Structure 1
């Protein structure tokens, strides 16, 4: 669509984070129904990378919260500052401030291990 930038910005907020096309949806359905072994291998790799990331974060003295998803929530003092420093190093994380029972934290999404290794290197520099 086309519109005033301020209006488009508001519409984008309402669309949510998961934007996809009909073609993308068809591909996802096919992957989940027609190629189950591939999908299971991808899921197993995601779990392996998440747990490997958990171990690496613990080695840095951090304590990620339990997770069954494709991300880890990691309590970090001054999370806003750490998140900004990571973005300067091309690592995108979500910053949460003042979570009840947690405090400041970073949500670190798990991806292919080379990407996670780069994120860990940046995090070591920042910490």
Structure 2
């Protein structure tokens, strides 16, 4: 067993060194072998068939973890957002105080708001 392990390690080291020296380039035997491997891969892919709905229904319950998207959380801190919006609107108005009510629609924004964002890079 140790002899097989040593042989595999030696093979991997020599392979890595050969690649580092570029010995794989301009070699007709290596080109043929790689073309042969690609031909085998193409044949395997061509032989694959799309699974039936029954096969999918049978396979999914045992493999559902492979397809699950990890949970994640996303939220808006509305108090911060409202405060930031009010401060930016005060800046836009030249510092003049004005009455502002909170809303979730874009219609409450002044017509100059997109220009303000573009000019200030926000």
Is the TM-score greater than 0.5?
no
Higher-Rg member (1/2): 2
More helix by share: 2
Higher relative CO (Cα under 8 Å, sequence separation at least 6) belongs to 1
Which one has the bigger strand percentage? 1
Q: What is the TM-score normalised by the length of structure 1? A: 0.28
Report the TM-score, using the length of structure 2 for normalisation.
0.29
